[in-house]
Structure 1
């Protein structure tokens, strides 16, 4: 019978086999657990595997305490890793079943690999936060006082309009702001959960599978390689040279060796060397990582650098607004007590002979309310909202473009990038390796005719070197016409070539030999090795594989294709070096295989693994792998050059391969003397001054180590560059963190690289990096457009109110009208201008860099004439409108209000383009902008024609509507003319020679 076992209580040694009947199983489990818990004993209960569902709710603490408390004695009593595997009905080679029922049952029994997160803010929390604005609260207080005095003076029927209107306006502003923030918060939470959803390699039913970390269950066999994150608590089954970084859990910076003697693996730690198989014993909140994570709250709306700059701008504008409001309050108060202000009927508001306390309080509250409204309009609360909107919109679009943003500030910074340091493999190339050349000795062998032309002993050794010195795997089944091969692209290419061309049988290979020790590949050694024991003759053979020049340097002889071994002298080594250079010049990646018979095991200290000799090797062969450039990468690099961004390729390949790929991609040009190609060691050995001098000129760095990449980034930043770095390996983490923007690869990238990065490129494509850069520029550009639009309104509103109060003692716009303008500026303006998509023009500009001011001369040139136009027009209407239009004061005030709103509507079009004269280009692609414009116009018509009591307006006829729209429409031609004004630092000095030549030519002619 197929049995599964569950280890339940704290200590003891009682074992019980359960009968098949389900009710008997349930009854026996309950009684036995209840009795033995009191005795504090171990109990091992064996049940049929299909009865897992009966175990829901049973205590499974010993499993997750094994790792959390590192109970080595308990693990030993269970029979070690192999005994624990049997208890969990798993298999070290085949894993667990992929059956959905069993997976579901394991989740129900042992829990899921998730942890509870902090509940996101609800809608009403956002409403409360919006209401916490002190100035809005002041307005609400003024509205309450106004309501009370209005009802007392005019009765309930006519006295509630002013107070309730202000209440409704405050409520409208609050709700619209809360809805926007609530939606963006949900979007950010969704993106954050996608960041946490990493993939894990497990073995189920003998097959490697890529699954979500959330789908890992107790009993799973997980494959760990360099750079992986341990997805759950577990026990080491088998592996070689496994080292983990536990600094995230313990703070210990030194790598920890994991082996059968120290088998416990904690969730959340990182693999820094070696590889292994791990048995999952606890998931989710049963792990120490899970317990820690459920107490951590993530704030996904942290302020970005741009938001911090905007908060400073908002603060400065707010101070100006408060100053103007204080002056308005002072002037209106003086005018009120001197009897200079009159009500709608022309009666003095303050008459010392008839005045009452209530009238004075009502008048002062009305003045204070107008002053506070000016502050509300002046302070650009919409700036942070605009940033959130454009970030959320761009992040959503970037996800569709295969880029996952992990750090909000990276969206903005990508728009300022001046240099990109990129990897080669998988980013510039397709990462689809295929073997195209094979050399044995000095002979080039056809890759598909190896067996017929090469000696069987050489073939056998090559199969060992490919099939055993690998982190990949081959799964062959009679039902499969082609074997399933997994691993890195290089490993997959070599394994496929060995199976198809060498006739390698991986199962027979593993039966005929045993791997004694492994030296895992890393970026410093650039090679990996295995020591194997051949079962047939009990000999030890060391196999090495890696970068061709690294292996060749350790070879003293070589195999010929007839199986003969020849000594390698200087001339022959030079011949092999030329073969390697020729392959590299053809943009092939050259891998060498070498071996050595080991007569005796090297002596080591007790408990240490045997060492693999890597000197005096025999060269088995050279393999050339082709990884073609991505078809779109050349155009992407050209786009970077047009955008003023320099692309530098940093790779571990030799200088010949690197140069060939760089030419193919367009990073360097043919016979260019400006583009510098260096090796990492050469750059490293330069003096600091020399490094800074050549950092700009470097286009390709070959044979680079992680330190070289980091050093290059540091030099570029010292020279004032904004640097983006792409990387996929654990060794890239320092450079990714040091860079202004770190971009990791989503397919081939390790979890360490992803965690160190700001943005994950989901398709490992350099073209996506360029797309991200265009979105970064778009974010920055959208914010500038909104700032220009809002500052135009702020300047106009403050100047109009101040001049009007000083001259006439009246504010032309009511509190409700000003709040409506504030709503157009902040929320609706942000929605309209923050959702524009990237344009081709953005990628033709030079990058912003670090020092460019947020408000540029171009923006000042655009906004000041527009604000001046609005001020002049509205002040003329204020003082001469009644005579010009032959209307009452209330109708005139409505015309002023209507014209002011439509000026903002037309100016929104102007703000779409900061420099281009055609502001309508691409407008049909931004449906959000058009929708906002239509909604704004409809609501304005409603405010003027229908909600007259609420808005304090009067109905207008067609002639008056035409005047309002016609005057406001002048904004368009004015904006077009303004853009002819030069924005150089000294424009007139530049124009002076032109005027001189013009006058000289024309005067001379006369």
Structure 2
């Protein structure tokens, strides 16, 4: 591995050099207010020393210089420390863990430790961590818009096997062989040609700079008027005496005194404290937010966050703990609690053997997760929280992942996506023929079923009454804040070709499972604090509306006057209806 690292390099991009403290000092000096003050300080020093000599005449000028230096060094120090913090923050942000197969073991490693030769497992939503080649996978669509600008996803398969760093998996899953890392990847080459722009001023700084400029202009206007009025008396006296062209030392000193008064007006008018006040207030805000465990990436966030009136939050993993477990099931038309290992093993003994066999075949084959043996020799479940929960349930009722997988061969996979809300797999059976397994949103999968397995384990037609009962169970689970999934299968007719689309209807319902994702501790209190501060918290989730409502009530988000609405309904509303609805949506 060391040799590979020496030859191919590490999976990191070359970072721009840290700017020195003096660069920040120079940038702080570019402030319009400070430039006006610097000119005034120079004039004040010249006039003061000319009129009163050194050091008495330099007091005013040196006072202005001291205030300029104070502002510059405080601003530069704050910005410099902030840039160092951002650098540390960037390192934290890039510490992404990926699942790789290395030395024959599936393991999680840092994206930085990837080397050519590693096999990376990618699923929907993952970012491709390095350049590589497609080894195996199903229905893989890659969004390359970040690299090429093309919005249409690219199909990656054996014919077009190239995967590029920085692109995203839009659909499907695959195993990828890493071939290039770091600056040698296409993304790395692109990064090398781009130069990093400077930080923009925050909205507050832009406004205050405008204010400072206007005040400075007004001060300059009155300073000029004052100088003209004061000088006019001396010039008109000289004119009446006929001595306009002969000036004594006292006359020159009087004019300098008038000029010094004008300069003083400009210095007093220009708010030299403004840049310092802005910098200090933003620095304090940033520090306070860091104490609240909120890392601020952009200084402007400190002021814009204070103006927020609505927070839209995801549910899974944000409001909830993101550790799913199956707590209830409906198999053979009966509801059973499975929230403990004892309940799960008891369930296995109560069910007909053919039902358990079909259930395990469905769970272990129709999954985006995997059960592997880790380096400690223990079973480890890999995959999304939902997949992990179902695999955990299957193992608790005595299932063996590898043995079950070996019984059949996966011929085709249609991965889960948010449009279809279900995933399907086509199995080639050892005795010949094909069987399709389907899993997904309960109401969608149940609507595709025309049969179900009854208490005796026999396949029975699904009449309206039974369908109504099962839909009632799904609603009951959802009202208890359980995420529900329905598992179904279909025996394929003779003559079915693998090239054909998997059927959408004609399935047999195996089971409905209810998965619980507990609410994080402190969420309800946080929502209450936001509400008392006048901030509305709304939940946005792809979950079943009843589950979403139950969790939202548990968190204190969905109040009595609040409204829950699904995307398709929302999109059909007119603008007038939306203006009435939006304030109530939770």
Return the TM-score normalized by structure 2. Answer: 0.87
Within 5 A, what are the aligned runs for 1:54-65?
A: none
Deviation at 1:421, TM superposition (A): 2.9
Of residues 506, 509, 529, the one that matches 1:619 is 509
**3-state secondary structure, aligned to 2:519:** coil
Do residues 285 (structure 1) and 186 (structure 2) align? no
Q: Which residue of 2 aligns with 1:681?
A: 568
Choose which of 129, 135, 138 in structure 2 pairs with 1:240.
138
Q: Secondary structure at the match of 1:492?
A: helix
Check whether the contact 1:195–1:404 (CA below 8 A) recurs between aligned residues: no
User: Is structure 2 residue 143 aligned with structure 1 residue 253?
Assistant: no
CA distance 1:131–1:405, change in 2 (3 Å): closer
Verify: 1:566 aligned to 2:460, yes or no.
yes
Q: CA deviation at 1:314?
A: 2.6
Q: Which of 607, 629, 646 lines up with 2:519 in the alignment? A: 629
Match of 2:12 in 1: 114
Structure 1 contact 188–300 (Cα < 8 Å) conserved: no
Paired residues of 2:37 and 2:68 also in contact (CA < 8 A)? yes
- Does the CA contact (< 8 Å) of 2:49 and 2:56 recur in 1? no
Cα distance in structure 2, aligned partners of 1:364 and 1:170: 27
Partner of 2:396: 500
- Indicate conservation of the 8 Å contact 2:44/2:263, yes or no: no
Measured at CA, do residues 282 and 582 of structure 1 come closer, stay the same or move farther in structure 2, by a change above 3 Å?
same
Q: Determine if contact 1:595/1:619 at 8 Å carries over to the other structure.
A: yes
Give the unaligned 5+ runs of structure 1.
Answer: 1-101, 341-349, 700-1006
Alignment pair present for 1:217 and 2:115:
yes
1:193 and 1:380 mapped to 2: Cα distance?
A: 39
State the shift of 1:498 in Å.
Answer: 0.9
Residues in 1 aligned to 2:541 and 2:85: alpha-carbon distance in whole angstroms:
37
Cα displacement (A) at 1:601: 6.7
> Which of 334, 342, 353 does residue 456 from structure 1 map onto?
353
Aligned counterparts, 1:650-665, within 5 A: 650-665=540-555
- Displacement, 1:471? 1.9
Query: What is the distance in 2 between the residues matched to 1:484 and 1:391?
Result: 46
| Inter-partner Cα distance in structure 2 for 1:539 and 1:178 | 73
Equivalent residue, structure 2, for 1:490: 386
User: Who is 2:80 aligned against?
Assistant: 182
Encode CA deviations 1:470-507: one digit per residue, 9 max, x unaligned.
222222359455x2222221111111111122x22222
Aligned to 2:415: 520
Q: Paired residue for 1:810?
A: none
The residue correspondences of 1:82-101 to structure 2 (distance < 5 A) are none
Cα contact 1:222–1:280 (8 A) shared by 2: yes
Match of 1:647 among 525, 537, 560: 537
Counterparts in 2 of 1:463 and 1:292: CA distance versus 1, 3 Å: same
User: Displacement, 1:288?
Assistant: 1.9
Q: Check the 8 A contact 1:226/1:274 in 2, yes or no.
A: yes
Deviation at 1:262, TM superposition (A): 0.6
The correspondence of residues 701-716 of structure 1 with structure 2, limited to 5 A, is: none
Whether contact under 8 Å (1:395, 1:405) holds in the other structure is yes
Q: CA 1:450/1:166 → structure 2, altered by over 3 Å: closer, same or farther? A: closer
Tell me how far apart the structure 1 counterparts of residues 220 and 451 of structure 2 sit (CA, whole Å): 85
**Secondary structure of residue in 1 paired with 2:151:** coil
Per the alignment, residue 939 of structure 1 pairs with none
More moved, 466-475 vs 382-391: 382-391
**Alignment check: 8 A CA contact 1:143 1:167 kept:** no
1-structure distance, mates of 2:55, 2:303: 54
Q: Is 1:355–2:248 an aligned residue pair?
A: yes
Corresponding residue to 1:585 among 456, 461, 479 = 479
- 1:381-410 CA-partner distances (Å, limit 9, x unpaired): 544554444444444543454434445444
1:696 to 571, 583, 586: 583
1:553-952 superposed matches below 5 A: 553-600=447-494, 602-603=496-497, 610-669=500-559, 672=560, 674-699=561-586
- Equivalent residues of 2:47, 2:260 under 8 A apart: no
- The one of 192, 196, 200 equivalent to 1:298 is 196
Task: Compute the displacement of 1:378 (Å).
Answer: 3.1
Residue 125 of structure 1 deviates from its aligned partner by 2.0
Q: CA deviation at 1:557?
A: 0.6
SS in 1 for 2:435: strand
Q: Which has the larger radius of gyration?
A: 1
CA separation of 1:170/1:255 partners in 2, compared to 1, >3 Å: closer, same or farther?
A: closer
Where is the strand percentage greater, Structure 1 or Structure 2? 2
Shift of 1:193: 4.7
User: Which residue does 2:210 correspond to in 1?
Assistant: 312
- How far did 1:291 drift? 1.7
CA distance in structure 1 between the aligned counterparts of 2:261 and 2:363, rounded to whole angstroms:
82
Offset at residue 186 of structure 1 (A): 3.3
1:334-345 aligned at under 5 Å gives the runs 334=232
Report the CA distance between 1:462 and its aligned residue. 1.8
How far the C-alpha of 1:286 sits from its partner, in A, is 0.6
Q: Secondary structure at the match of 1:202?
A: strand
Q: Deviations over 1:968-990 (max 9, x none)?
A: xxxxxxxxxxxxxxxxxxxxxxx
Which stretches in structure 2 are left out of the alignment for 5+ residues? 339-343
Instruction: Quote the residue 2:341 is aligned against.
Output: none
Distance, in Å, in 2 between the alignment partners of 1:400 and 1:208 is 38
1:613 Cα deviation after fit: 2.1
Distance 1:379 1:684 in 2: 53
C-alpha deviations, 1:454-478, integer Å up to 9, x for none? 2333222222222222222222359
Report SS of the residue matched to 2:428: strand
Shift of 1:235: 0.9
Question: What is the number of equivalent residue pairs in this alignment?
Answer: 573
Other structure's SS at 1:134 match: helix
Asked whether the equivalents of residues 75 and 279 of structure 2 are also in contact (C-alpha less than 8 Å), the reply is no
Q: Distance in 2 between matches of 1:173 and 1:662?
A: 48
Residues 632-678 of structure 1: CA deviation (Å, up to 9, x unaligned): 22222222222222233333333332332232222234xx3x33333
Is 1:138 matched with 2:39? yes
Q: Displacement, 1:365?
A: 6.0
Q: How well do the aligned residues superpose, as a CA RMSD in angstroms?
A: 3.3
Structure 2 CA distance, aligned partners of 1:274 and 1:465?
19
In the TM superposition, residue 578 of structure 1 has moved relative to its aligned partner by 1.2
Contact 2:78 2:279 in 1 (8 A): no
Q: 1:478 to 1:255 in 2, by over 3 A?
A: closer
Alignment of structure 1 residues 134-173 onto 2, 5 Å: 134-139=35-40, 141-142=42-43, 145=46, 149=50, 170-173=68-71
The structural deviation recorded for 1:545 is 0.8
Aligned CA distance change for structure 1 residues 234 and 687 (closer, same or farther; 3 Å): same
Q: Alpha-carbon deviation of 1:565?
A: 0.7
Cα pair distance change 1:161/1:648, threshold 3 Å: closer
Q: When you count helix as a share of all residues, which structure comes out higher?
A: 1
SS of the residue corresponding to residue 328 of structure 2 reads strand
Separation (CA, whole Å) in 2 of partners of 1:646 and 1:514: 51
Does the C-alpha gap of structure 1 residues 468 and 603 become closer, same or farther in structure 2, counting only changes over 3 Å?
Answer: closer
Separation in 2 of the partners of 1:158 and 1:631? Answer: 66
**Is this contact kept in 2: 1:557–1:568, CA < 8 A?**
yes
CA distance in 2, matches of 1:579, 1:422: 28
Query: Does the 8 Å CA contact 1:192/1:300 hold for their aligned counterparts?
Result: no
Mapped pair 1:329 → 2:227: yes
Q: What SS does the aligned partner of 1:678 have?
A: coil
Contact 1:236/1:276 (8 A) holds in 2? yes
Instruction: Provide closer, same or farther for how the CA distance between residues 380 and 459 of structure 1 changes in structure 2, counting only shifts above 3 A.
Output: farther
TM-superposed deviation, 1:523: 1.5
In structure 1, distance between residues paired with 2:276 and 2:421? 50
How many angstroms does 1:611 deviate by?
Answer: 2.6
Counterpart secondary structure, 2:147? helix
Q: TM-score, normalised by structure 1?
A: 0.53
* CA–CA distance in structure 1, aligned partners of residues 41 and 94 of structure 2: 43
Q: Structure 1 residues 386, 168: closer, same or farther in 2, change over 3 A? A: closer
1:467 matched to 2:373? The reply is: no
Question: Is 1:123 equivalent to 2:17 in the alignment?
Answer: no
